[in-house]
Amino acid sequence: MANELSETQKSQIGKQNKKGQTYTDPNHLFFKAPRTAAFYTGSEVIKEAIRRASVDVMVAYPITPQSEAAALIGELYAEGYVADYMRGESEFAVMGQCAGAAFGGARVFTTTAGPGTMRAMENFPMWVGSRLPIQMIVTCRGINSPLSIQPDTLEMYFLLGTGMLMWHAETAQDFFDWMLMGYIVSEQPDVHLPLALCCDGFFVTHTKDTVMLTPPEMCLPPYDPYRSPVVCMDMESPPVRMMRDPFIMKSNYISYMTHASWQEETRAACERSRKHTIPLIGGLIETENVDAEILIVASGTAVSQGREAIRLLEDEGIRVGLVKVKSLRPFPFEELREATKNAKHIFVPEFNVIGWLATELKAALPDNHRIIAGPHVAGGMTMPAEVIVRKNSDLSGVFGYYAAGVS
């Protein structure tokens, strides 16, 4: 069954927390509760989602462009919506503190960006192997030298192999909904994995948008740590010795097999998340006019720019379809194959220099000569719709010229 609650969680539904919010059935909260429009920055939207998320512990550390959101959660803590909140001493430590809190059975939230993500990297495969359903917002920014704080999604490339669930939000509305839904998916016993919920820094965090919010007096049911597939470290269950002999140093088959099968299992858990995710976020991808011969496949704000380019191309009489990739892990193989089966040209605009989404698509789709990686912008450059139009026109042979500075 998708998105089940435990009996303990069900028994909380309808009860109030100490702020007077009512623990609400997630499906009711997401799909039936009345919504009101608010005009907020992405950072404020993160705060509003956490207000409704029954988070136990948040660990914060300043780095642009997530500092504002992280500080706003501090205000929520001061108001009593988050049970504990602290500033760590570095992102490596922050992710360790998050791990400790999650090992101890707390619902945990953190945010990071760019160099912070890279500094913390050692933690992410550890979170996965330890089955810690921590939610981490990644507000992507440059990781190159010279120092840059500008939007750039290169850091997501490094997260792809960690084993975490990974979603890429396009808008503040995605963010609001997916943060709340993310906890429900992450905490399912057959998933129980961390979620990296990524967005393009500044474009989403620092711009204002109209967002439809659920009522502030409703919140998610609390986390139930006893649904974890591994033991919660609170000495509330018998401390059976985990193993007779630690596997780490052993050079024998059973040791290799243990490590291999656990890696397989965590990857399988990621795949199993589909059945929970699809009904909540409405599929791992979203499509428009995929019967067209030309498609734009993108994630994050590159989708918005793609939409705009499609409108401009329409004016030229060129029909182009759109695929928005919402989940990168699990990767929507089948969905993408189906959505691109009619396409002759597949353009993949990205906010990073290497084009990791195009690489992923080339490995996933048949006839991958159809995939045209780009345009790529990086280091904070914006991606005007015209740039996508040019790339598109150029390679599809309609008309062509080359835009300097854009490859």
Partner 1 sequence: MPPEYRDLVEQSTYGHEDRGWKDIGNSKELIEAHSLCAGCPESMAFRYILASLPNPEDTVMVGSTGCTSLVFPMVAVHNIHSLFGNQNAVASGLKRALTVRFPDRIKDVVVLAGDGATVDIGLDMTLQAWFRQEKFTTICFDNELYANTGGQESGLMRKGFVAKMAPTGKKFDKVRLPEIARESGCCYVVNLTVSKPSLVEKVIKNAVLLAREVGPTYIQLYTPCILEIGKNSMEGLQEMRDSEKPGERFNYKEYITDEAKQYLADLDAKKKSAVIPAAQLTE
Q: End-to-end CA distance of the chain, in Å?
A: 46
Strands (E), 203-284: 208-213, 218-219
Using the minimum distance from each CB to partner 1, give the nearer residue, 129 or 379: 129
The string of DSSP codes covering 346-363 is: EEEEESSSS-HHHHHHHH
Which run of H or E residues covers position 275? helix 274-281
Least Å from the CB of residue 214 to partner 1? 24
Q: Is 94 helix (H, G, I), strand (E, B) or coil?
A: helix
Least Å from the CB of residue 57 to partner 1? 6
Least Å from the CB of residue 265 to partner 1? 18
The string of DSSP codes covering 159-215 is: HTTS--EEEE--SHHHHHHHHHHHHHHHTSTTT---EEEEEETTTTTSSEEEEEEPP
Least Å from the CB of residue 61 to partner 1? 12
Chain-centre distance of CA 101, in angstroms? 21
- Give the Cα-Cα-Cα angle 270, 276, 278 (nearest 5 degrees): 100
Least Å from the CB of residue 60 to partner 1? 13
User: What are the two backbone dihedrals, phi and then psi, of residue 374, each rounded to the nearest 5 degrees?
Assistant: 125, 175
Closest-CA residue to 114 (of 139, 93, 91): 139
- Give the Cα-Cα-Cα angle 93, 99, 102 (nearest 5 degrees): 145
Least Å from the CB of residue 316 to partner 1? 54
**Alpha-carbon distance values, 384 to 4, 65, 300, 371, 407 (Å):** 43, 21, 15, 21, 14
Least Å from the CB of residue 173 to partner 1? 31
**Alpha-carbon distance values, 131 to 112, 163, 186 (Å):** 20, 10, 10
Q: What's the DSSP call for residue 366? A: S
Least Å from the CB of residue 241 to partner 1? 5
Using the minimum distance from each CB to partner 1, give the nearer residue, 236 or 367: 236
Which residue ranges make up the site for partner 1 (CB under 8 A)? 56-57, 59, 83-84, 86, 88-90, 92-94, 96-106, 108, 122-123, 126, 130, 225, 231, 233-235, 238-246, 248-249
Check: CB of residue 382 under 8 Å from CB of residue 405.
no
